[in-house]
Structure 1
Amino acid sequence: MPLITPEDIGTTPRSRLSPRRRLQAWERTNGRCVVCGERIDGARERWIVEHIRALELGGMDELGNMGPAHEACGREKTRDDHARTARAKRQKLRHIGATAPERLLPGSRASPLKRKLSGAVVPRETALFGISAGSAKKMPGFGRSLWRKAAEAEKPLAERIANLQKYAPAQVAAALTHQRPPTRNQSSIGFGMSSAPKREDQQVLAGSLEALIPPEIASLLTPPPLLPDEDPDGYGRLLTAVGVSVEPRDTIEWLWVKDVVDLLWEAQRLRRLRTVLLRTARRQGLSYLLDLYGEPEQDTFQMKRDELVRGWSSGKREAVRQVAALLAKHGLTDEAISAQALSGKLDDLDRIERMIANADGRRNGVLREIDRRRSALGARLRAASDQVIEGEAIDASSDQRGSARR
């Protein structure tokens, strides 16, 4: 298995494809991406011909090992293939006992290069806040705290909340539910000088999910879609709950989470408006029934009817008793008022129901996109790990046969 170093990335030799070969590779999968499995719009989306199994992992440069892929999917697969190849090579050298190479292994402790989880290779001494990792170790307090803060910002959301719960579980629960945190005397856990939460942790505990969103991502999120009479704290609690449940991993998933929360908020708003509309229509329904079944007393009935409707709406006992007696006299109950209110607002309620269904459908579509993106990534990682394990087993058996011959 070849050693892959940063200068080798993207230089693996491969044959040049003619338009006819590209068309044949397209027809092999009927235009479906070999990485994510989604259909490619050949007229609108950029696509390439990708090796199903990478050449450095033992794949053949033949049509049977090729297929169409989205350009972004192809770049991601190439990056992951290089990372898996380097990892497999390190495992081989460490555990199988192969001869040490002349050049340094990529991502090893002896190398000045460090391979990040995203696959990007950066110098190990990359400076954060103007301070390198080596310099931060020599600086007591200040430099190390900056590096600790940067490391905390890269952790997944659930892990960061779990770390905070070690210090103050009651305060974390209060922050997530937007309640006042208990005092020192009320809390069942005391804090010593060594176990007290840091200042940045206290800011996270005092706020909502917005304090846990990385700053570079928070600047990309749109403002909350709130009306003047709506509660910003309720929107923050909803964003907190959805964010903790989904655990967004990158900018795309954060934007999707924001879309899901906005659609949930829109659906809740429409349901509240539907309830208010029905309550308002009940007064109109009662007025219609009083006109239909009432016993007007010449010019004074209009005044009595309005007073009766206002009293019934405000819950006055005498007005409620008179309305119930009038309805019972004609074989009706309080449900007749609701039925009359519903019949007068059917068109408005139908439009609201369609808007709610539309918001729920769009929300479910975004959640499906998140699941599809993660399942495709998980399938690729599982296939890659199987290939690495298979390659290690083949290399180990070949080394054993070579040693037996000697």
Structure 2
Amino acid sequence: MDGADNMIVNDQIELVSACDVEIPAAYKYLFADDCLIGLDSAEEYRQIRDSLIADTQPMDVIDWIWLRDLLDYVWEYCRARRIRNELIRSYMPAIASSMILAADGDEDPSGNRKKYNISVAEKAFNGDAKARATLNNLLTARGIGLEKIAFVAMQRAHDNTRYLERDMGRAEKRRDQLIKDIEARKTIVAHRMRLAAERVKLQFEAPIIPQVTGRGVDAINEEPVEQ
């Protein structure tokens, strides 16, 4: 299935099964659904949250806080992408109908064919299998590809989608910067732990040659007595 064909059905995010994910009681306050707005799906948000938890296996409070930040950035990106695709998809039925009529010579005095085409296309782009097959037949018979319909729809929606794409880009940058910060901090902590362990080892490790104090030092420096 290519990119244009993907736009026929609603976006579905494939997630890791997270039925066994359990958030410790001490950290549940971090994951309130306070970032959901409008028609956001609480179920989808929780699925993404549980998938991230299952994949990252956070260990301590810092890990959980970092995970919450990562979840916010991933959710912002997914939300913007979903809205962008829905906006583009909303243009596609009328575009498909116009292309079909243009291929047939625009002969539709009653307007019934236009209404029929739009109705079929709307159902097809919302996942109706029967309507999708009908639309594919209408388009194929006239040499019209879904890629062309998607391209025209993206052009018409550009003025609106560019703001969403900007938000997507910002969310990705914040996500990447967070991951870089985590990697840097983890590296620093690991380096400090390694140095601390070496200091402890050197401090408590018994020397091979015991230190000699007092009379013992003078005795070592004296000339040997001839027998």
- The two structures have a TM-score, normalised by structure 2, of 0.67
- Is the 8 Å Cα contact of residues 33 and 42 (structure 2) preserved in structure 1? no
Q: 1:268 to 1:240 in 2, by over 3 A?
A: same
Deviation at 1:298, TM superposition (A): 6.5
Q: Report sequence identity in percent.
A: 18
- Is the 8 Å Cα contact of residues 97 and 117 (structure 2) preserved in structure 1? no
Moved more, 342-351 or 369-378: 342-351
Deviation at 1:387, TM superposition (A): 1.7
More relative contact order, 1 or 2 (CA 8 Å, 6+ apart): 2
Query: For the residues of structure 2 that align with 1:298 and 1:308, how far apart are their CA atoms?
Result: 11
Query: For the residues of structure 1 that align with 2:103 and 2:17, how far apart are their CA atoms?
Result: 50
Deviation at 1:260, TM superposition (A): 0.4
Query: For the residues of structure 1 that align with 2:120 and 2:149, how far apart are their CA atoms?
Result: 15
1:83-137 Cα deviation digits (max 9, x unpaired): xxxxxxxxxxxxxxxxxxxxxxxxxxxxxxxxxxxxxxxxxxxxxxxxxxxxxxx
SS in 2 for 1:177: coil
Deviation at 1:227, TM superposition (A): 4.2
Is 1:370–2:174 an aligned residue pair? no
Query: For the residues of structure 2 that align with 1:220 and 1:342, how far apart are their CA atoms?
Result: 37
- Is the 8 Å Cα contact of residues 108 and 114 (structure 2) preserved in structure 1? no
Deviation at 1:290, TM superposition (A): 4.5
Q: 1:265 to 1:403 in 2, by over 3 A?
A: farther
- Is the 8 Å Cα contact of residues 18 and 50 (structure 2) preserved in structure 1? no
The answer for the alignment partner of 2:10 in structure 1 is none
Any unmatched runs of 5+ in structure 1?
1-175, 180-204
Q: 1:269 to 1:220 in 2, by over 3 A?
A: closer
Is 1:349–2:161 an aligned residue pair? yes
Query: For the residues of structure 2 that align with 1:334 and 1:239, how far apart are their CA atoms?
Result: 34
Equivalent residue in structure 2 for 1:379, among 172, 180, 191: 191
The answer for the alignment partner of 1:238 in structure 2 is 48
The answer for the alignment partner of 2:118 in structure 1 is 309
Query: For the residues of structure 2 that align with 1:371 and 1:265, how far apart are their CA atoms?
Result: 21
- Is the 8 Å Cα contact of residues 73 and 174 (structure 2) preserved in structure 1? yes
- Is the 8 Å Cα contact of residues 221 and 255 (structure 1) preserved in structure 2? no
Q: CA RMSD in A?
A: 3.3
The one-letter code matched in structure 2 to 1:177 is: S
Q: Count the aligned residue pairs.
A: 194
Any unmatched runs of 5+ in structure 2?
1-15, 124-130, 218-227
Equivalent residue in structure 2 for 1:249, among 60, 71, 87: 60
Spell out the pairing of 1:20-99 with structure 2 (5 A cutoff). none
Q: 1:369 to 1:271 in 2, by over 3 A?
A: same
Bigger share in helix? 2
Query: For the residues of structure 1 that align with 2:25 and 2:185, how far apart are their CA atoms?
Result: 21
The one-letter code matched in structure 2 to 1:380 is: R
Deviation at 1:276, TM superposition (A): 2.2
The one-letter code matched in structure 2 to 1:378 is: A
Deviation at 1:294, TM superposition (A): 4.1
Runs of 4+ in 1 over 6 A off after TM superposition: none
